[in-house]
Amino acid sequence: MVDVLATPQHAKADGAIRTLTAVSVAHWLSHFHIFTLPMLLPFLKQQLGVGYIELGFALTVFGLVSALTQAPIGYLADHIGARKVLLAGLCLGGLSLILLGLNLSYNSLILCAALLGLANSVYHPADYAILSTHMDEARMGRAFSVHTFAGFLGGAVAPAIIAGLVATIGGLGALMVAGALGPIVALLMVAMSLPDASKADRHAGGAAAQKQNIITPAIIMLTIFFMLLGLSNAGISNFGVVALMSGYGVPFATANMALTAFLGASAIGVLAGGFLADRTQRHGQVAAACFAINAGLILVIAIFTLPPVLLTALMTSAGFLSGLIAPSRDMLVRDAAPPGAAGRAFGIVSTGFNFSGILAPLLFGWIMDQHMPHWVFGASVAFMLLTVLLALVTDRKPRTAAAAPDARQLDQG
């Protein structure tokens, strides 16, 4: 009798774990695909006979398409179903790389970058819509943290995997193998019975929820918040090594070690942040506190030339705090989204990251061209302080029980 009574609860828990695993694998692949073309730039330059400006344009096309389509894809996920959108994105991203491998030309590269950007736009709105519907409220922060960590991991292993593929089967083979992962993961999603989000949300929020305005002041502020987050991290991640070398006389090995510590600690911080997000209801205050401390740490790096051990320690602490706020960041968006509109909300605010990806290389590249490497860290501090202010402004009281119906609990299937 005990086993019979325990079965429904176990089934719910198993369904939630299966859903989180499936969505996290998809997010892992999305970040792996983001790094596929950049890791193949030397091969593409040699094969196509073009310069880095032409190759950089392809990456710009990727970023622009992803930025412009993320919000519309969020609307699509809420209306036709996040599951369909996610499966389509997996297949589209994979097929775009396969087609480039089969027909390598510059025009094909631009087309591939555009299709890959469109495929990339599905993950945040679709993933978060599914997680928001089917995960246990009490563990939502941890679910978001695992999802984010999976993306970090996909980007971290991409260089080694792509390098290994190029060394063994060549650049064209690397493109096709990386592309084949898309349909394979899509089939895995089907085999794991990945649930949808739209039906449960429609039942929970009703038809009126689908028609309400999603462009609220909170969503607008969160979009800016995401852009500032991206800008504050991009300077350190992309230009930190060259800034430390040229402005502070830090050896390459030491600067690279400090950046590696920053990125590695960020991934660990994401996992820890999930537990923190589940134990607080004031996610904006968590984000503000972490970034206020972060601003102080980076300001010390900006002002002083530090010994290697202290530099690495400060970069590690800053990276951990940067990752720690990620689940709280996602909970802010979820709290701001009306019922049935998680896909649209995450689609809109995630464009902030896309725009920061477009603006950051121009801004920090200009700073380095002006021979002001200290301002790589100084500008990051300024963006962090603005992020602190916006985090406090966008902090909202959590939804009431009436606004968070049982349909948003564990997966029933």
Considering the domain architecture, whether residues 25 and 161 belong to the same structural domain is answered as yes
DSSP per-residue codes, 68-117: HHHHHHHHHHHHH-HHHHHHHHHHHHHHHHHHHHHS--HHHHHHHHHHHH
Considering the domain architecture, whether residues 22 and 98 belong to the same structural domain is answered as yes
- 413 in a structural domain: no
- 323 in a structural domain: yes
Q: Check whether 164 has a pLDDT greater than 80.
A: yes
pLDDT band at 330 (very low <50, low <70, confident <90, very high): confident
Considering the domain architecture, whether residues 148 and 234 belong to the same structural domain is answered as no
pLDDT band at 11 (very low <50, low <70, confident <90, very high): low
Identify which of 265, 324, 269, 261 has the alpha carbon closest to the alpha carbon of residue 292: 324
pLDDT band at 400 (very low <50, low <70, confident <90, very high): very low
Say whether 296 sits in a helix, a strand or coil.
helix
Q: What is the pLDDT of residues 52-94, one digit of tens each?
A: 788 888 888 888 898 889 889 988 888 888 899 999 999 999 9
Q: What is the pLDDT of residue 132?
A: 84
- 410 in a structural domain: no
Considering the domain architecture, whether residues 161 and 238 belong to the same structural domain is answered as no
- 403 in a structural domain: no
CA 41 to CA 163: how far, in whole Å?
12
- 17 in a structural domain: yes
Q: Check whether 397 has a pLDDT greater than 70.
A: no
Considering the domain architecture, whether residues 161 and 94 belong to the same structural domain is answered as yes
Q: Check whether 201 has a pLDDT greater than 80.
A: no
- 344 in a structural domain: yes
Q: What is the pLDDT of residue 404?
A: 40
Average pLDDT along the chain: 84
The average pLDDT across 384-408 equals: 62
CA 64 to CA 86: how far, in whole Å?
20
CA 364 to CA 135: how far, in whole Å?
39
The average pLDDT across 182-193 equals: 93
Q: Check whether 380 has a pLDDT greater than 80.
A: yes
Considering the domain architecture, whether residues 309 and 243 belong to the same structural domain is answered as yes
Q: What is the pLDDT of residues 120-136, one digit of tens each?
A: 999 988 998 888 888 88
Q: Check whether 248 has a pLDDT greater than 70.
A: yes
Q: Check whether 364 has a pLDDT greater than 90.
A: no
- 409 in a structural domain: no
Strands in 210-369 per DSSP E = none
Task: Please say whether the dihedral angle defined by the alpha carbons of residues 48, 54, 60 and 65, taken in this order, is positive or negative.
Answer: negative
Q: What is the pLDDT of residue 78?
A: 83
Query: How many domains does the chain contain in total?
Result: 2
Residue 100 belongs to domain spanning: 2-208
Q: What is the pLDDT of residue 128?
A: 86
Considering the domain architecture, whether residues 274 and 199 belong to the same structural domain is answered as no
The average pLDDT across 275-295 equals: 87
**Percent of the chain's residues with pLDDT above 90:** 38
Higher pLDDT, 79 or 412: 79
pLDDT band at 3 (very low <50, low <70, confident <90, very high): very low
Considering the domain architecture, whether residues 293 and 165 belong to the same structural domain is answered as no
Q: What is the pLDDT of residue 59?
A: 85
pLDDT band at 276 (very low <50, low <70, confident <90, very high): confident
pTM score, two decimals? 0.77
Angle between helices 106-120 and 52-80 (to 10 degrees): 30
Q: Check whether 398 has a pLDDT greater than 60.
A: no
Q: What is the pLDDT of residue 138?
A: 80
pLDDT band at 10 (very low <50, low <70, confident <90, very high): low
- 381 in a structural domain: yes
Q: Check whether 159 has a pLDDT greater than 50.
A: yes
Which CATH number covers residue 357?
Answer: 1.20.1250.20
Q: What is the pLDDT of residues 210-235, one digit of tens each?
A: 556 778 888 889 999 999 998 988 88
Q: Check whether 2 has a pLDDT greater than 80.
A: no
Q: What is the pLDDT of residue 74?
A: 86
**Last residue in a domain, options 189, 208, 227:** 208
Buried b (16+ CB within 10 A) or exposed e, 316-346: bbbbbbbbbbbbbbbbbbbbbbbbbbbbbbb
Q: What is the pLDDT of residue 135?
A: 83
**Last residue in a domain, options 161, 185, 208:** 208
Considering the domain architecture, whether residues 108 and 204 belong to the same structural domain is answered as yes
Q: What is the pLDDT of residue 247?
A: 92
Q: What is the pLDDT of residue 266?
A: 87
Range in 3-12, 18-27, 86-95, 156-165 with the lowest mean pLDDT: 3-12
**Percent of the chain's residues with pLDDT above 70:** 88
Considering the domain architecture, whether residues 185 and 246 belong to the same structural domain is answered as no
Considering the domain architecture, whether residues 143 and 291 belong to the same structural domain is answered as no
Considering the domain architecture, whether residues 221 and 176 belong to the same structural domain is answered as no
